[in-house]
Amino acid sequence: MTIPQHERHLPDETDTMLRHDWSIDELLAILQRPLTELVHEAQCVHGRFHPEGTVQLASLLSIKTGACPEDCKYCPQSAHYANETGLKRESLMAVDDVLEKARIAKEAGATRFCMGAAWRQVRGGQEFEQVLDMVRGVTEMGMEACVTLGMLNKEQADRLADAGLKAYNHNIDTSPEYYGEIITTRTYEDRLETIANVRAAGITVCSGGIIGMGESDRDRASMLQVLCSMNPHPESVPINALVPVPGTPLGNVKPVEPLELVRMIATARIAMPKSRVRLSAGRQGLSKEAQILCLMAGANSIFYGEKLLTTANPDTIQDLAMIEDAGMNILSDNSVI
């Protein structure tokens, strides 16, 4: 049997066309180009590297909710803001319940199933064994399994790889310069180390960030610079627009202007041509037309299903109609990326 290229994690000839030495200034200049020029260039890059024009549908499930010891200012799951957000904490879900949700997501058309736990880090023991069973179950169903569990050491990454994990999501969230304004309980270095452990285990990397937290354009360019200096580039790059959740320190922040999201996606597409750029949190606040503009600017994946982790996402019927209106095809076979 021929193993698809991306399964082998081997470079192919297009890798020599990828750059890992973009400067912040170069990326900032791209981000600030006249919009139509920027989108045009992103479309050209997208067409060259993704001629199939597919959109990947990734469903999300919060398998352990709330009571997280970290203080990420955007996050409704942090224990630091629990009194204000009123979010109900829930312990780790049973494996069968998770697999039932995965089956429903698959029936609805998802090809990736991403399970998120509000942990600072993975700890060994029964709960981790349960997560490994979830990964095995989702993989056996023929979906790509992705998890996001906080920090991870090498040994844990190896065990997840052995269980069949396709991708690990660990976002850098923002620029190194702005990071201290948003999170104080773990460092940027900690994040990069987890990502390196994931990569070393042969699991694909899903890493991106959030816009709309009060950062500057330069911070956005700097965040992209960190991502595209990784070699290889992260296979998936989620670009989230902040969902301002009442009770979190960023709960009153004005939602990001949709065209800023378009610019961020287009710049990510140009800097990381082969990656799947995911139009992630924040779609509830976007019109269908703004979302289609994001797809035209190079996004080729969305979170699919009525819920993200704790907040709402557009309904599936609406999303399928949007993709059809955009004239794109839904990725139905994970061997094509």
Catalytic residue numbers? 68, 72, 75, 114, 146, 206, 278
170 binds, among ligand SAM, ligand SF4, ligand DTB, none (CB under 5 to 8 A by kind): ligand SAM
If one asks whether residue 72 binds ligand SF4 (CB under 6 A), the answer comes out as: yes
Which of 65, 234, 74, 205 has its CA nearest to residue 147? 205
Nearer to ligand SF4 by C-beta: 102 or 210? Answer: 210
Would you tell me which residues interact with ligand DTB (CB under 6 A)? Answer: 60, 76, 114, 116, 148, 169, 171, 208, 238, 240, 243, 280-281, 308-311
Residues 119-148 that bind ligand SF4 (CB under 6 A): 120
The CA distances from residue 156 to 72, 128, 150, in Å, are 23, 9, 12
Query: What does each C-alpha distance from 284 to 237, 290, 315, 325 come to in angstroms?
Result: 19, 11, 9, 18
| Interacting residue with ligand SAM among 116, 234, 273, 305 (CB under 6 A) | 116
Complex with ligand DTB: residue 41 or 135, whichever CB lies closer: 135
78 binds ligand SF4 (CB under 6 A): yes
Cβ pair 66, 90 in contact under 8 A? yes
With contacts defined by CB under 6 A, name the span among 42-50, 67-75, 258-266, 286-294 that binds ligand SAM: 67-75
Distances in Å between the Cα of 200 and the Cα atoms of 115, 254, 259 are: 21, 39, 36
Cα–Cα–Cα angle for 315, 324, 45, rounded to 5 degrees: 110
168 lies in the binding site for ligand SAM (CB under 6 A): no
| Number of residues binding to ligand SF4, judged by CB under 6 A | 9
Give the tokens for residue 177: 């310069």
242 near ligand SF4 (CB under 6 A): no
Q: Which does 310 bind (CB under 5 to 8 A by kind): ligand SAM, ligand SF4, ligand DTB, none?
A: ligand DTB
The binder of ligand SAM chosen from 46, 64, 159, 170 (CB under 6 A)? 170
Backbone phi and psi for residue 274, each to the nearest 5 degrees, phi listed first:
-90, -15
Nearer to ligand SF4 by C-beta: 150 or 282?
150
Q: Which one, 41 or 228, has the nearer CB to ligand DTB?
A: 228
DSSP reduced 3-state for 277? strand
Contacted entry of ligand SF4, ligand SAM, ligand DTB, none for residue 78, CB cut-off 5 to 8 Å set by kind: ligand SF4
Shortest Cβ distance from residue 58 to ligand SAM (Å)?
A: 13
Half-sphere exposure of 210 (CA within 13 A, CB side): 21
Q: Are 133 and 98 in contact (CB under 8 A)?
A: no
**CB of 45 or CB of 286, closer to ligand SAM:** 286
- Give the DSSP H/E element, type plus range, for residue 180: helix 179-182
Degrees (nearest 5) of the Cα angle 227, 205, 192?
Answer: 55
Nearer to ligand SAM (CB atom), residue 56 or residue 77: 77
| Interatomic CA distance for residues 235 and 166, integer angstroms | 11
Least distance to ligand DTB from the beta carbon of 1, Å? Answer: 32
CA 48 to chain centre: 23
Is 261 a binding residue for ligand SAM by CB under 6 A? The answer is no
Handedness of CA 314, 317, 319, 322 (dihedral sign): negative
Query: Which residues are at the interface with ligand SAM (CB under 6 A)?
Result: 68, 74-75, 77, 116, 118-119, 148, 150, 170-171, 173, 210, 240, 242-243, 245, 281, 309
